Amino acid sequence: MGLRIVMLGAPGAGKGTQAVRMAQEMGIPHISTGDIFRKNLREGTPLGSQVQGYLNSGALVPDQLTCDIVADRLQQADCANGYILDGFPRSLPQAEMLTRFLAGRGEKIEAAVNIDVPDEEIVGRLSARRSDPDTGAVYNLKFNPPPPEIADKLIQREDDKPETVQARLKTYHETTEPIIAYYGEQGVLLNVPGSNAGPDEIYRRILDVLPA
Ligand code: AP5
Ligand code: MG
């Protein structure tokens, strides 16, 4: 039986980097609300046009819309044995809605992994983030360099411009950070220092604290 895990942490803390790897090794789905929104943007769906303004300004998509999408996703068959939520919940109302939704099914979140990285480090990381439009793989020009043969096709995320990164950090501190205490009260919070070490070391730190 896999676990139901949420990844917490500021923009650029490494939630996606770690969640992809955890999901692969645990054989459970990785569910990133940011990835779902960006896919809809790229494909020009009605949801994409609904969320575009929020993403481009670094604001949060409204809670109800976001929760409906996640609830839908969690009812799919591949979620029966656990999953890793990345970028959700990111407000107290979202966290409370998730708790209620799961309680209705006799389920709960078993681990909330909080990757802690100071703001100063975030800005440098995000300006150097690049991703592969074909595979979705995420690299970093400074800290996790891509293979040279794919360098030309890599793209930069629209919201990784320095002004937008500042707005995302502000949103994070105001609205998202309080849910760390919420999961602390539920007894499932796992704090992982996420700076001054590469992705492999952070991954080891996460495995060290996750329940068996
Ligand atoms: P989302 O896609 O979730 O973005 P985010 O939270 O800002 O997080 P990031 O994806 O930027 O960072 P990450 O922690 O995944 O870091 P990564 O692993 O890439 O959300 C985007 C937008 O969608 C939001 O602003 C909002 O508008 C909307 N949205 C999404 N969910 C929502 C919700 N629930 N409610 C409302 N709105 C929502 O790593 C970052 C970089 O650092 C990479 O280049 C990586 O290679 C590098 N790196 C990783 N680990 C290390 C390391 N240990 N050392 C050095 N570099 C590292
Ligand atoms: Mg991410």
Nearest ligand atom owner, CA of 17? 1
The atom of ligand 1 lying closest to the CA of 199 is 53
The per-residue pLDDT string of the chain (212 residues; one tens digit each, 9 = 90 and over) reads 679 999 999 999 999 999 999 999 999 999 999 999 999 999 999 999 999 999 999 999 999 999 999 999 999 999 999 999 999 999 999 999 999 999 999 999 999 999 999 999 999 999 999 999 999 899 999 999 999 999 999 999 999 999 999 999 999 999 999 999 999 999 999 999 999 999 999 999 999 999 98
Nearest ligand atom owner, CA of 22? 1
Please state, in angstroms and rounded to a whole number, the distance separating the CA atoms of residues 19 and 73: 17
Nearest CA to ligand 1 atom 30: 34
Strand, helix or coil at 137? Answer: coil
C-alpha 105 – ligand 2 centre gap (Å): 28
Name the residue with tokens 């309080």. 178
CB of 205 closer than 6 angstroms to any ligand 1 atom: no
CB of 87 closer than 6 angstroms to any ligand 1 atom: yes
Asked if 115 and 7 count as a contact pair (C-beta separation under 8 A), the reply is: yes
- Residues 146-166 pLDDT 10s: 999 999 999 999 999 999 999
